């Protein structure tokens, strides 16, 4: 099956559809954060933080899920998804609003915060296997036996169109960006950013970021082939072990560059958000900032949008971030 990516018309329609149902999240500047990345070597970089950590369910994914369920007819068996957490919460949230049954398969040791949130949204939770890929297999099996509609983590044009409303909003708020750095798991958020920038702001360079501990999308983009790779990052939103057809096609056409960061650099970026921007970011949410701090020479003197994609950080991960020490710690 070949899936066509959404058009900018689909994205504008999604923005209209979602108006009043999603938070128009702030796009904020923080002098102290700019000072920290200048210390790391990115002199004169002006950061603009797009605060999807303040979105309903604490991540941008709800934009895609609401758009998907608003544009799709489902069977009485409802929808079944697989996720390490934020896609799960988003789908459960959207399903409850639409009055649709929702089953979520999560890998067996999920972030307890995310698992609780999904259950609180009345979704049926199935814990299965160790990695996202195991959960995907189980979700596929459940869809086949119950007739429920399987929602992919990334190969869904309606998810991409919904996610794209975050970038559209950011460009409306900050038309003068030079770069936009977006974290990548399955790639829906980054593909969305690419489509919007290519159509409406072609001067903006969209840069993807992954954890080096889960580099499947990065390697798929570099090699031009869909790759499976080890999937060991602590940042759940980035914990994906393979490339996806739809999103990779878009990234190949439009992504300017793709950077890797370590999980420790992500922890350090979470600390920077906490101390310099009063912002709770989960690991995936801090990955864009980590990329700017880790590759400062690329961003010096530029106005850089960093997608703070989610804020669902557990206590342990925040403690680790605050305890993190490195040469440039304040
Ligand atoms: C899912 C997620 C990502 C990655 O998004 P993809 O669309 O899967 O690439 C990044 N950050 C957060 C917080 C997420 O939940």
Which ligand 1 atom is at minimum distance from the Cα of 282?
A: 13
> Atom 3, ligand 1: which residue's CA is nearest?
237
Which ligand 1 atom is at minimum distance from the Cα of 284?
A: 11
Radius of gyration of the chain (CA): 18
- Domain range summary for the chain, segments of one domain joined by +: 8-58+157-322, 61-151
Q: What are the residues facing 303 on neighbouring strands? A: 46
Pocket test for ligand 1, best of 190, 250, 284, 307 (most atoms within 8 A of CB): 284
Which ligand 1 atom is at minimum distance from the Cα of 184?
A: 9
> Atom 14, ligand 1: which residue's CA is nearest?
237
Which ligand 1 atom is at minimum distance from the Cα of 240?
A: 8
pLDDT for position 237: 93
Q: Which two tokens stand for residue 233?
A: 């990052």
pLDDT for position 329: 43
Which ligand 1 atom is at minimum distance from the Cα of 185?
A: 9
CB 246 within 8 A of CB 195: no
Other CB atoms within 10 Å distance of the CB of residue 199: 16
How many angstroms separate the alpha carbon of residue 281 from the centre of ligand 1?
Answer: 12
pLDDT for position 147: 95
Distance of CA 92 to CAs 106, 130, 134, 185, Å? Answer: 13, 21, 20, 19
Please give all residues whose beta carbon lies within 6 A of any atom in ligand 1, as ranges. 59, 61, 86-87, 154, 183-190, 237, 282, 284-285, 309-310
> Atom 2, ligand 1: which residue's CA is nearest?
237
Which ligand 1 atom is at minimum distance from the Cα of 192?
A: 7
> Residue ranges of the chain with pLDDT lower than 50?
327-330
pTM: 0.95
CB 304 within 8 A of CB 207: no
How many angstroms separate the alpha carbon of residue 237 from the centre of ligand 1?
Answer: 5
CA-CA-CA-CA torsion sign (73, 74, 76, 78): negative
Residue showing tokens 């995310």: 114
Pocket test for ligand 1, best of 310, 312, 313 (most atoms within 8 A of CB): 310
Other CB atoms within 10 Å distance of the CB of residue 27: 18
pLDDT for position 327: 44
Q: Which two tokens stand for residue 220?
A: 């798929």
CA proximity to 87, closest of 14, 141, 159: 159
If you classify domain 8-58+157-322 with CATH, what class do you get? alpha beta
pLDDT for position 326: 57
Pocket test for ligand 1, best of 50, 61, 190, 215 (most atoms within 8 A of CB): 61
Which ligand 1 atom is at minimum distance from the Cα of 153?
A: 8
How many angstroms separate the alpha carbon of residue 59 from the centre of ligand 1?
Answer: 8
> What architecture is domain 61-151?
3-Layer(aba) Sandwich (3.40)
């Amino acid at each position: 099956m070949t899936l066509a990516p959404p058009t900018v018309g689909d994205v504008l329609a999604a923005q209209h559809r979602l108006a009043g149902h999603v938070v128009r999240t702030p796009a904020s500047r923080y002098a102290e954060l700019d000072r920290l990345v200048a210390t790391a070597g990115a002199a004169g970089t002006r950061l603009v933080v797009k605060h999807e950590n303040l979105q309903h369910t604490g991540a941008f994914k709800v934009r895609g899920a609401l758009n998907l369920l608003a544009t799709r007819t489902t069977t009485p068996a409802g929808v079944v998804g697989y996720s390490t957490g934020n896609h799960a919460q988003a789908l459960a949230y959207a399903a409850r609003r639409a009055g649709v049954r929702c089953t979520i398969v999560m890998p067996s040791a999920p972030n307890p915060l995310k698992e609780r949130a999904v259950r609180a949204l009345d979704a049926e939770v199935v814990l299965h296997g160790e990695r996202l890929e195991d959960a995907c297999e189980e979700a596929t099996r459940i869809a086949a036996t119950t007739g429920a509609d399987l929602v992919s983590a990334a190969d869904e044009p309606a998810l991409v169109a919904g996610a794209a409303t975050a970038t559209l909003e950011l460009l409306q708020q900050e038309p003068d960006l030079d770069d936009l750095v977006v974290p990548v798991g399955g790639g829906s958020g980054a593909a969305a950013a690419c489509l919007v920038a290519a159509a409406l702001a072609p001067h903006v360079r969209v840069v993807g970021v992954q954890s080096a501990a889960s580099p499947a999308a990065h390697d798929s983009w570099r090699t031009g082939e869909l790759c499976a790779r080890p999937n060991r990052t602590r940042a759940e939103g980035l914990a994906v072990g393979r490339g996806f057809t739809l999103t990779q096609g878009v990234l190949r056409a439009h992504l300017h560059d793709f950077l890797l960061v370590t999980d420790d650099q992500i922890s350090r970026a979470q600390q920077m958000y906490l101390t310099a921007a009063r912002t709770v970011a989960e690991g995936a949410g801090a990955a864009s900032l980590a990329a700017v701090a880790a590759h400062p020479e690329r961003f010096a003197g530029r106005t850089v949008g960093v997608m703070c994609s989610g804020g669902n950080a557990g206590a342990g991960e925040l403690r680790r971030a605050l305890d993190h020490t490195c040469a440039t710690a304040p």
